[in-house]
Structure 1
Amino acid sequence: MKNRIVYSFILFFCFTSFIVAKQDKYIKHTVGQGETITQIAQKYKVTPYDIYKLNPDSQNGIQLNSVLLIPSNGSAFIASNTKAQTATKVSAQVGPAKKATTHLVQPKETLFSLSRMYNVSVESIREANVELLKNGLQIGQNVVIPASDGTSSVVAETVKSTPKQEVKEAPKPTPKPQVISTNSETKYHVIAPKETKFGISKMYGMTIQELEQLNPEIANGFPIGLKLVVSGNVIPQNSSTPSKAIIASNSSEYSTKRYLEEYVVRPNETIYSISRDYGISEQELVYLNPELKKALKLGMILRVPKGQKKETIVKEKLDLTKSLKTDKKKNLIMLLPFNVSKIQGDTVNSTEARLKKDKFLNLTLDFYSGALMAIDSAKTLGLNIDVKIFDSQETKNSSGLGELVTENNFGNADAIIGPFYQSNVEKLAEWLGNSRTPIISPLSKEYGKSYPNLYQSLPSEDKMRNAMFDYMRSKDGNIVAVIDSKKQSIYDYFSKNQPDVKIIGLSEKGTLVQDSLSIRLSRTKLNYVVLVTEKTSMILNSTNIMQKLKADYQIQMAILEYNETLDFEEVKLASLTNLNMMYPSISKPNDSETNTSFENSYKKQNNVFPNQFAVRGFDVTFDTLLRLSQEKSFEETIQTASTEYVENKFDYDQTESGGYKNNGVFVLYYDTDLTIKVAQ
Structure 2
Amino acid sequence: MNKISTYFIIFFLAINCSAALAQNNKTTAIITNERDSNIFYHTIERGETVYSIATMYGVKVNDIYKLNPESKEGIKVGFKLIIPQLAPDAKGKSNGAANYLFHTIKAKETLYSVSRLYTVPADQIADANPGLSAETFSIGKTIRIPRNPHEEPSVEQVQTVTKDVPYTIQKKETLFRISKKFDVSSTELIKRNPSLKDGVKAGAVIYIPVKEEQKVLVSTEITDEKEVNALLSRKKDSKKLPVVNVSLLLPFMTEEAYPSSNTSRFIEYYEGFLLAVDSMRNQGCSINLSVFDTGNGTEKINDILKNPAVKEADLLIGAVQNEQIHPVAKFAEKNKIRYVIPFTSKNDDVLSNPYVFQVNTPQSYLYSKAAQAGCELFKNYNIIILKVNDPQDDKKEFIQELKTELKQKKVSYKEYTYNAETFATEIESQFVTDKPNVIIPTSGTLNALNKIKTPLVTISSNRPDYQLTLFGYPEWQTYTRDCLEEFYALNTYIYSNFYADNLSDGVKNFYQKYKTWFSKNPINTFPKYGMLGFDTGMYFFKGVWTYGSNMENNLKRTGHNSIQTGFNFERVNNWGGFINTNLFIVRYNKDFTISRIQLNEL
Scaled by the length of structure 1, the TM-score of the pair is 0.49
Whole-Å Cα distance in 1 between the matches of residues 299 and 472 of structure 2?
36
SS of equivalent to 1:443: coil
Kept in 2: contact 1:371–1:618 (CA 8 A): yes
Q: CA deviation at 1:390?
A: 1.3
The match for 1:630 among 523, 539, 546 is: 546
1:332-373 deviations in Å (ceiling 9; x for gaps): 111111122x23xxxxxxx4xx23xx1111011111111112
Q: CA deviation at 1:651?
A: 2.1
SS of equivalent to 2:285: coil
Whole-Å Cα distance in 2 between the matches of residues 402 and 598 of structure 1?
35
Gap change, CA 1:673 and 1:505, over 3 Å in 2: closer
Kept in 2: contact 1:215–1:229 (CA 8 A): yes
SS of equivalent to 2:570: strand
SS of equivalent to 1:360: helix
Whole-Å Cα distance in 2 between the matches of residues 524 and 497 of structure 1?
24
Q: CA deviation at 1:558?
A: 0.9
Superposed, 1:425-504 pairs within 5 Å as: 425-450=325-350, 451-475=353-377, 476-478=379-381, 479-485=383-389, 486=391, 487=394, 488-499=396-407, 500=411, 502-504=413-415
Whole-Å Cα distance in 2 between the matches of residues 470 and 430 of structure 1?
34
The match for 2:85 among 179, 194, 197 is: 179
1:565-587 deviations in Å (ceiling 9; x for gaps): 94685xx5432321022112312
Kept in 2: contact 1:446–1:460 (CA 8 A): yes
Kept in 1: contact 2:125–2:144 (CA 8 A): no
Kept in 2: contact 1:367–1:615 (CA 8 A): yes
SS of equivalent to 1:667: strand
Gap change, CA 1:643 and 1:511, over 3 Å in 2: farther
Kept in 2: contact 1:174–1:190 (CA 8 A): no
Instruction: Report the counterpart of residue 443 of structure 2 in structure 1.
Output: 533
Q: CA deviation at 1:453?
A: 0.8
The match for 2:529 among 598, 603, 613 is: 613
Gap change, CA 1:562 and 1:605, over 3 Å in 2: same
The match for 2:499 among 587, 596, 599 is: 587
Kept in 2: contact 1:639–1:653 (CA 8 A): no
SS of equivalent to 2:531: helix
SS of equivalent to 2:242: coil
Q: CA deviation at 1:463?
A: 4.1
Whole-Å Cα distance in 1 between the matches of residues 590 and 330 of structure 2?
49
Whole-Å Cα distance in 1 between the matches of residues 478 and 282 of structure 2?
44
Instruction: Report the counterpart of residue 464 of structure 2 in structure 1.
Output: 551
Kept in 2: contact 1:512–1:541 (CA 8 A): no
Give the RMSD, CA atoms, in angstroms: 4.3
Kept in 1: contact 2:511–2:521 (CA 8 A): yes
Matched, 1:365 2:267: yes
Instruction: Report the counterpart of residue 659 of structure 1 in structure 2.
Output: 577
Gap change, CA 1:334 and 1:625, over 3 Å in 2: same
SS of equivalent to 2:474: coil
Instruction: Report the counterpart of residue 248 of structure 2 in structure 1.
Output: 334
Gap change, CA 1:643 and 1:503, over 3 Å in 2: farther
Kept in 2: contact 1:411–1:435 (CA 8 A): yes
Whole-Å Cα distance in 1 between the matches of residues 576 and 562 of structure 2?
26
Gap change, CA 1:205 and 1:171, over 3 Å in 2: closer
SS of equivalent to 2:546: coil
1:61-83 deviations in Å (ceiling 9; x for gaps): xxxxxxxxxxxxxxxxxxxxxxx
The match for 1:393 among 286, 292, 295 is: 295
Whole-Å Cα distance in 2 between the matches of residues 391 and 330 of structure 1?
21
1:634-676 deviations in Å (ceiling 9; x for gaps): 3233254453233332221222262111233221122345553
Gap change, CA 1:636 and 1:181, over 3 Å in 2: closer
The match for 2:316 among 411, 416, 420 is: 416
Kept in 2: contact 1:338–1:361 (CA 8 A): yes
Whole-Å Cα distance in 2 between the matches of residues 364 and 678 of structure 1?
26
SS of equivalent to 2:501: coil
Kept in 2: contact 1:181–1:188 (CA 8 A): yes
**What amino acid does structure 2 have at the position aligned with 1:599?**
Y
Whole-Å Cα distance in 2 between the matches of residues 638 and 678 of structure 1?
21
Q: CA deviation at 1:473?
A: 3.8
Matched, 1:578 2:489: yes
Whole-Å Cα distance in 1 between the matches of residues 450 and 563 of structure 2?
35
Superposed, 1:289-308 pairs within 5 Å as: none
SS of equivalent to 2:335: coil
Whole-Å Cα distance in 1 between the matches of residues 241 and 474 of structure 2?
44
Whole-Å Cα distance in 2 between the matches of residues 435 and 376 of structure 1?
28
**What amino acid does structure 2 have at the position aligned with 1:402?**
N
Gap change, CA 1:567 and 1:422, over 3 Å in 2: farther
Kept in 2: contact 1:652–1:664 (CA 8 A): yes
Instruction: Report the counterpart of residue 597 of structure 1 in structure 2.
Output: 509
Q: CA deviation at 1:501?
A: 6.2
**What amino acid does structure 2 have at the position aligned with 1:373?**
L
Superposed, 1:208-357 pairs within 5 Å as: 215-216=125-126, 217-220=128-131, 228=145, 328-340=242-254, 342-343=255-256, 351=257, 354-355=258-259
Gap change, CA 1:679 and 1:529, over 3 Å in 2: farther
Instruction: Report the counterpart of residue 668 of structure 1 in structure 2.
Output: 586
Whole-Å Cα distance in 2 between the matches of residues 492 and 471 of structure 1?
14
Gap change, CA 1:619 and 1:493, over 3 Å in 2: same
Scaled by the length of structure 2, the TM-score of the pair is 0.55
Q: CA deviation at 1:421?
A: 3.2
Superposed, 1:127-138 pairs within 5 Å as: none
Instruction: Report the counterpart of residue 25 of structure 1 in structure 2.
Output: none
1:85-106 deviations in Å (ceiling 9; x for gaps): xxxxxxxxxxxxxxxxxxxxxx
Kept in 1: contact 2:386–2:418 (CA 8 A): no
Gap change, CA 1:515 and 1:178, over 3 Å in 2: same
Whole-Å Cα distance in 2 between the matches of residues 607 and 565 of structure 1?
25
Kept in 2: contact 1:465–1:560 (CA 8 A): no
Whole-Å Cα distance in 2 between the matches of residues 202 and 631 of structure 1?
32
For structure 1, the 5+ residue unaligned runs are: 1-169, 231-310, 312-323, 344-350
Kept in 1: contact 2:438–2:469 (CA 8 A): yes
**What amino acid does structure 2 have at the position aligned with 1:649?**
G
Kept in 2: contact 1:669–1:678 (CA 8 A): yes
Gap change, CA 1:596 and 1:372, over 3 Å in 2: same
Kept in 2: contact 1:480–1:501 (CA 8 A): no
1:139-187 deviations in Å (ceiling 9; x for gaps): xxxxxxxxxxxxxxxxxxxxxxxxxxxxxxx9994313543679xxxx9
1:544-598 deviations in Å (ceiling 9; x for gaps): 45331653322210113314894685xx543232102211231230534444333
Gap change, CA 1:518 and 1:218, over 3 Å in 2: farther
Instruction: Report the counterpart of residue 73 of structure 2 in structure 1.
Output: none
Answer with 665-674 or 172-181: which moved more.
172-181
Q: Which has the larger radius of gyration?
A: 2
Whole-Å Cα distance in 2 between the matches of residues 383 and 565 of structure 1?
36
Gap change, CA 1:679 and 1:578, over 3 Å in 2: farther
Q: CA deviation at 1:510?
A: 10
**What amino acid does structure 1 have at the position aligned with 2:438?**
Y
Whole-Å Cα distance in 1 between the matches of residues 240 and 86 of structure 2?
49
